[in-house]
Amino acid sequence: MDDIVKQAMAKWPNVPDCYGWLGLDARGNWYMRDDSAQAAGNFNSGTPGAKGSLLKHEKLIDFIQRNYACNAQGHWYFQNGPQRVFVELSATPWIWRVSAAQALTAHTGQSVEYRQALMDEYGWLYLETSCGFGLVHTQDVPEAAQAVDAGLWKVTEVPRAALSSRYGYVTSPLTVFAGQ
């Protein structure tokens, strides 16, 4: 976490949390969800406009990714100065990129080490890594398949519905917050 963010947290400890305004899709893209996007529906609803606007500003994306974390309840957030902006997840909290040499990188840019591969009933490939649990980026499935075919990764089948509880993450903190 950035030092400036830590300083802001210490200076203003009681800033309210923010829900529904930021989303991470299954390809590691960040979306800003204004009032109209939120009114269109849940981030994962598939309703036109509900995802919001794709963030393209590299420095903003880097700032979000450096200050991306999880609380004890499995709610992922971006610490924006003194305010926690909880993230709506399309799939998992991490999206893995796989190189031709099977090197793994998180959507945040950090290198990680492989621990386990899992596949759900829809054919989506997930990895448990030194950093946590996440989905393999769709463009990198061929590289991941090479690791499986070469016997480097053994795939375990798992039902998609069991993943969030098994790995302790919440896809929609907004839904949890609104239900309280």
The 10s digit of each residue's pLDDT in 102-119 is: 999 999 999 999 999 999
Separation between Cα atoms, residue 108 and residue 113, nearest integer Å: 14
Query: Where does the chain hold its CATH 3.10.540.10 domain(s)?
Result: 3-91+169-178
> What distance in Å separates the CA atoms of residue 68 and residue 33, rounded to the nearest whole number?
17
* Structure confidence by residue, pLDDT tens digits, 19-31: 999 999 999 999 9
Q: Looking at the domain 3-91+169-178, which fold is it?
A: duf1285 like fold (3.10.540)
How far is Cα 89 from Cα 179, in angstroms, rounded to an integer?
17
Which H or E element spans position 102? none
Per-residue pLDDT tens over the stretch 80-97:
999 999 999 999 999 999
Burial of 174 (0-12, 13-18, 19+ CB in 10 A): buried
Overall residue count recorded for the chain in this entry: 180
Q: Quote the percentage of the chain above a pLDDT of 70.
A: 99
